[in-house]
Amino acid sequence: MVTKTTTDKQIAALVNTAIEASHRAYVPYSHYPVGAALRAKDGTVYGGCNIENSSYSVTVCAERTALFKAVSDGKREFDAIIVVTDNGGSPCGVCRQALFEFAPDLRVVIADMQGQIHHDVPLRELLVYGFGPKSLER
């Protein structure tokens, strides 16, 4: 997990990456762009945006876009994700579950498009009693 020793400057840079990613969002239906910046433990950062579809269930959130890009690059360990929306909205349950698979102790920073941080919490607090790989152990 990212410790509180992660500098404000590092968090600000990740917030900016997430804001930039939100500008690429495809949101013709909700008009609610979301950007994410997921940092792997090796320092690699993956940006993601939400991509809507006229068949709503096919829509992919920014957080999962970033996660899937990272995993497809072979990354499996993450320490922080920044999520930005117009109003500081929180990740959906599906995204929380997808992230929990790889990083239950992930630091989740939720900000708005002006860079104001609304929440800075561990994923475990957003997905209480999350179901992960350890849940399948006998």
Q: Catalytic residue numbers? A: 63
C-alpha 31/C-alpha 126 separation (Å) is 25
* Alpha carbon distances (Å) from 34 to 2, 74, 95: 22, 24, 12
Residue 38's beta-bridge partner residues? 46, 81
Rounded to the nearest angstrom, the gap between the alpha carbon of residue 18 and the centroid of all alpha carbons in its chain is 9
Could you tell me the end-to-end alpha-carbon distance of the chain, in angstroms, rounded to an integer? Answer: 26
Structure tokens at 93: 């349950």
Nearest to 48 by CA among 26, 78, 79: 26
